[in-house]
Amino acid sequence: MNNTKSLVFEELSVEDIGDNHFYTGINTPMKADAFVMSDADKKKKIEFHFRQIMETLGLDLNDDSLRGTPERVAKMYVDEIFSGLNPDAKPKIALFNNTYKYNQMLVEKNITFYSNCEHHFVPIFGKAHVAYISAGKVIGLSKLNRIVDYFARRPQVQERLTMQIARELQSILETESVAVLIDAKHLCVSSRGIKDSGSATVTSFYGGQFESPECKAEFLKYLGLQTTFND
């Protein structure tokens, strides 16, 4: 982080930083010893602390409906909604030679994803649209969905999620020509704070050939989005 950005952060409150979706880099912030503890031990620790949170809120954990909630939350955090933090959960990707010489863009649109805001730990959900132009290799279509899902299953900000998906595809496919567009709703906006349930957030990444106005316009046309580019 450069000194200018550091000064900006120092002038903002924790709440300001969260509401303005600042993020510190493309990599998810992780401790060096993040994977020393086993998943089983993580679940036990999360269960204990979540029980404390519920009791602090005044909930009666002797109630049949609430008794198992700390354990359920712990399993959900580790095995499901934050499983993308674990490198072992990264999808195994097989590449194939582009033997049919298809040299136009391939678009996989309307990939449904669910994530969680790293500032308030409430859901982010929406659609991801990804595209690439082969430089000699192609990828199975379902793997595009799996890559989106993997990076979504961690505490996120939408800007970072967009970049992580794009950079991963560029690395795997060995091409700069990758585009990613994400259209999502944030419950940290609609259920708290300003409580605006009608707004959505759009982020995008364009690399290689997608940086040209013509290629970008073609991609957006496939998504049914408006563009100011004229032929």
Catalytic residues: 117-120, 158, 186, 188
Q: Determine the length of the chain.
A: 231
Distance of CA 53 to the CA centre of its chain: 26
Helical segments of the chain, H only: 3-11, 14-19, 39-56, 69-75, 141-152, 158-173, 187-190, 213-223
Q: 144 near 3, Cβ under 8 Å?
A: no
Q: 179 near 207, Cβ under 8 Å?
A: yes
Q: What's the CA angle centered on 76, arms 72 and 77, to 5 degrees?
A: 120
Amino acid identity of residue 220, one-letter, is: L
